[in-house]
A = this chain, B = another copy of it.
Amino acid sequence: MKYDIKDIKLAAKGALRIEWARQDMPVLRLIEKRFAKEKPLKGMRLAACLHVTTETANLVRALKAGGAQVYLCASNPLSTQDDVAAALVKNLKVPVFAIKGEDNKTYYKHIKATLAPEPNITMDDGADLVSVIHKEKKFFPLGGTEETTTGVIRLRAMQKKGVLKYPIIAVNDAETKHLFDNRYGTGQSTLDGLIRATNRLIAGLNVVICGYGWCGKGVSMRAAGLGAKVIVVEVDPLRALEANMDGYQVMTISNAAKIGDIFITLTGDIDVIRKEHFQVMKEGAIVANSGHFNVEIDISALEKLSRKKKRIREFVDEYTLRDGRKIYLLGEGRLINLAAAEGHPAQVMDMSFANQALSAEYIAKRYKGLKHEVYSVPEAIDKNIAGLKLKSMGIKIDTLTKEQKKYLGSWELGT
């Protein structure tokens, strides 16, 4: 079996951490159990390009239980947990191609190694597999899934241009995914990454959040929950209004740049923080990204403005500008929650990955009926996952009475 990881000897530590995550993934455990019996993925070669974390390991385990042959590479050069990679190789016999901190070249080499077996199903987190497959045009899978907002935006652009060559299920569209993972997951883990990287007290600081989508909402909520004075930057008037009504200051990035103590980007777009913003930042400003790609901060502009760069702390690069001001870039502008912390907690990934597993099953069973389009996760899957999750938490809810159901379907009952 081919694989490329940091150190196979880390397997024991990884295995324990995977077990720890497993305890907080009750929905995925139930799916794994059924998969083991029904083998719905039998005969499928599945290439997954995901953050190599303890939660992903549990997804891989479920997919294997379902009969799939799984190949795994990283969806981000900094997010791999090397001990998890080792445990997957050693204990689960999964070919993993991922090393924390790999350079760009190795990153793409690993993607290609994962695609070498010409998989039937791709599982993406940022659309890198889809992207490479469509550039190389060597083969096309039966179907694929996509985890992120960023990836789904890319895929819809492809569909619109008519270049998408196989069906994709947008796992991100599931409510049990984006309402939870993007909001509560990204919210907590971004602050977690920020604090681990810096050990700064958040209370009383001006924290500038660029982007008020589900992720930005989550991060704003948690930053405020830690006592920050949150400032939101947006381009969409509806979201900007919403941020204002939620009690946050809303302003342009040019104005925010002058007063922010910490900046976090989560927009899915490029160069959100760029030269003219670095030029007006306060001494000691901290800049981080929690969007999918490391393009949101224009790092090359920062490099050009600086006369000195020093790694003052793990994940913290001190840039000394020519005018003497110091600006701190975290995690090289990569997803701070994965670079400096451990990514989303298992409890939210449980639902996101339940969607992944069930979407893979859906492709395996229904690929013949699917067009080369981006599909949403079927609502039944979504509700089912929510119900299982509640149950696992011991929370009981009501069901409609017969009369209540009837009333909702009626229009004649009057005032």
Which A residues have a C-beta under 8 Å from some C-beta of B? 16-17, 19-21, 23-24, 76, 104, 107, 126-128, 131, 134-135, 153-155, 157-158, 161, 163, 175-176, 179-180, 183-185, 187-188, 192, 195-196, 198-204, 221-222, 224-229, 233-238, 240-242, 244-253, 255, 268-272, 284, 293-295, 312-313, 316, 341-342, 344-348, 382-383, 386-387, 389-390, 393, 395-401, 403-404, 407-415
Which residues of chain B are near A179, meaning CB under 8 Å? 238, 242
Docked Cα-Cα span, A260 to B81, in Å, equals 30
B235→A399 contact, CB < 8 A: yes
Q: Which of B236, B294, B408 contacts A269 (CB 8 A)?
A: B408
Which residues of chain B are near A228, meaning CB under 8 Å? 247
Q: A188-B195, A199-B341 are in contact. List 17 more A-B contacts (CB 8 A).
A: A16-B313, A20-B199, A21-B199, A23-B284, A131-B412, A131-B414, A135-B412, A184-B204, A185-B201, A188-B202, A188-B226, A201-B348, A204-B393, A234-B398, A237-B383, A237-B386, A237-B387
11 contacts between A and B (CB under 8 A): A179-B238, A184-B245, A185-B201, A192-B195, A192-B196, A196-B341, A203-B247, A204-B393, A222-B226, A251-B396, A252-B397
B225→A270 contact, CB < 8 A: no
A395→B270 contact, CB < 8 A: no
B411→A238 contact, CB < 8 A: no
Which residue on chain B has the smallest CB distance to residue A104?
Answer: B415
Which residue on chain B has the smallest CB distance to residue A401?
Answer: B271
A238→B175 contact, CB < 8 A: yes
Which residue on chain B has the smallest CB distance to residue A409?
Answer: B157
Give A233 Cβ to nearest chain B Cβ, in Å.
Answer: 6
Which residues of chain B are near A383, meaning CB under 8 Å? 237-238
Give A278 Cβ to nearest chain B Cβ, in Å.
Answer: 16
Complex A-B, nearest 4 residue pairs according to Cβ-Cβ distance, in ascending order: A225-B225, A201-B345, A237-B386, A201-B347
Which residues of chain B are near A395, meaning CB under 8 Å? 240, 244, 250-251
Which residues of chain B are near A250, meaning CB under 8 Å? 390, 395, 397
Docked Cα-Cα span, A154 to B316, in Å, equals 41
A107→B203 contact, CB < 8 A: no
Which residues of chain B are near A161, meaning CB under 8 Å? 411
Which residues of chain B are near A401, meaning CB under 8 Å? 271
Docked Cα-Cα span, A346 to B194, in Å, equals 15
Which residues of chain B are near A245, meaning CB under 8 Å? 180, 183-184, 203-204, 227
Docked Cα-Cα span, A348 to B399, in Å, equals 33
Give A181 Cβ to nearest chain B Cβ, in Å.
Answer: 10
A397→B237 contact, CB < 8 A: yes
Docked Cα-Cα span, A128 to B411, in Å, equals 10
Name, among A24, A347, A382, the residue most crowded by chain B CB atoms within 10 Å (CB to CB).
A347
Which residues of chain B are near A249, meaning CB under 8 Å? 229, 249
Docked Cα-Cα span, A187 to B224, in Å, equals 14
> Given A200-B345, A390-B240, is A157 in contact with B227 using a C-beta cutoff of 8 Å?
no
Which residue on chain B has the smallest CB distance to residue A274?
Answer: B401
Give A319 Cβ to nearest chain B Cβ, in Å.
Answer: 14
A398→B238 contact, CB < 8 A: no
Q: Which of B153, B175, B201 contacts A408 (CB 8 A)?
A: B153
